Amino acid sequence: MRSETDPALRSRRRAVVAYYMVDRVRNGRYATLTQAARDSGATHLELGFPFSDPIADGPILQEAADRALRHGTHWNDLRSAIRETSPILPTIVMSYANPLWTRGLARSFADLRDAGAGGVIVPDLSLEEAGPWRRTARCNGLDLILLAAPGSRLARIAALARASRGFLYLVSRYGTTGRGAISRPEDLAPLVRSAHAAAPDLPVFVGFGIRDRATALRAMGSGADGVIVASALESALARNPSTPTVARVLRPIASAVRAGGI
């Protein structure tokens, strides 16, 4: 299966996905921040589109979304951000279901693809509801990236891995995004193995709570192919949206991802 996010993903090269929120006050800075992420070892960029009711998110990303909406962030800001970032790093969009649905899935996905995005993550989209989303994404040349979680049965993990494109997003623990402990590597390992067995070419990235070298090593200890760094980067950028901030957060994680793993 061809991946739109990044053809090299099929080799299951180790990956670091850097996430930050699209926010109107950051317009014009996305290229600089993304270049800094690449220079610090990021292999992909995930752009968050703010939603008023982000139920899968902890306080850091909730506040980031509130701020972005207060600043008047709109769909067009997302499109222009993707145009800036996608020449630098393969770019994936994270959006809750409603903003994509309400615009019309076909139109939303065409917009994202035309701007240069390779994939889309929808944290409140279950496998059961994903059918039309997967078809429309495929028609528009976008990867629909599904999420798996610690409570998912192994058979379900396999089904999720077969249905996901680009990569499988493995949630690290019971909980929302942000601070807090992640599951032990030995608890995540069976999930990763199950996904790899069902879809050998599909990488598995672990997200939620990855914030430093230790958490990245722990995640990679499960046999995963990469990590996603969201709240840690977003909260650092909220304080100081600069190139050194990006490097400070991402460098230790990127080196751990290269060193760790099984």
Partner 1 sequence: MRSRYGPYGGAFVPETLVPALEELEGTWRAARSDPVFRRELARYSRDLGGRPTPLYHAEHLSRRAGGAEIWLKREDLLHGGAHKFNNALGQGLLARRMGKLRLIAETGAGQHGVATAMIGAALGLQTEIYMGEVDMQRQRPNVLRMRLLGAEVHPVRSGQRTLKDAINAALRDWIAHVRTTHYLLGSAVGPHPFPSIVADFQSVIGQEILREARRRWGRPPDLAVACVGGGSNAIGTFHPLLRTRTELLGVEAGGPRGHPTGAASLARGRPGILHGTYSYVLQDRDGEIRDTASISAGLDYAGVGPEHAFLKDSGRARYMAVHDSDALRAFRWLSIDEGIIPALEPSHAIYAAVREARRRPASHRIVVTLSGRGDKDLEVAGRALGD
b or e along 138-153 (b: 16 or more beta carbons within 10 Å of the residue's beta carbon)?
bebebbbbbbbbeebe
| Positions in 77-106 near partner 1 (CB under 8 A) | 96-103
Nearer to partner 1, 128 or 186 (CB): 128
161 touches partner 1 (CB under 8 A): no
Cβ contacts of 180 within 8 Å, gap of 6 or more: 58, 173, 209
123 touches partner 1 (CB under 8 A): yes
Cβ contacts of 70 within 8 Å, gap of 6 or more: none
| Positions in 168-227 near partner 1 (CB under 8 A) | 171, 174-176
Looking at the annotation, which residues are catalytic?
46, 57
**Main-chain dihedrals φ then ψ at residue 145, nearest 5 degrees:** -95, 120
Stretch that binds partner 1, among 18-26, 35-43, 45-53, 85-93 (CB under 8 A): 45-53
Give me the sign of the Cα torsion angle 137, 138, 141, 145. positive
Please state the closest distance from residue 254 (CB atom) to partner 1, in A. 27
Please state the closest distance from residue 123 (CB atom) to partner 1, in A. 6
163 touches partner 1 (CB under 8 A): no
Q: What Cα–Cα distance (Å) separates residue 71 from each residue in 19, 24, 27?
A: 19, 6, 11
Q: Which residues bind partner 1 (CB under 8 A)?
A: 50-56, 58, 62, 66, 69, 74-75, 96-103, 123-129, 146-153, 156, 160, 171, 174-176
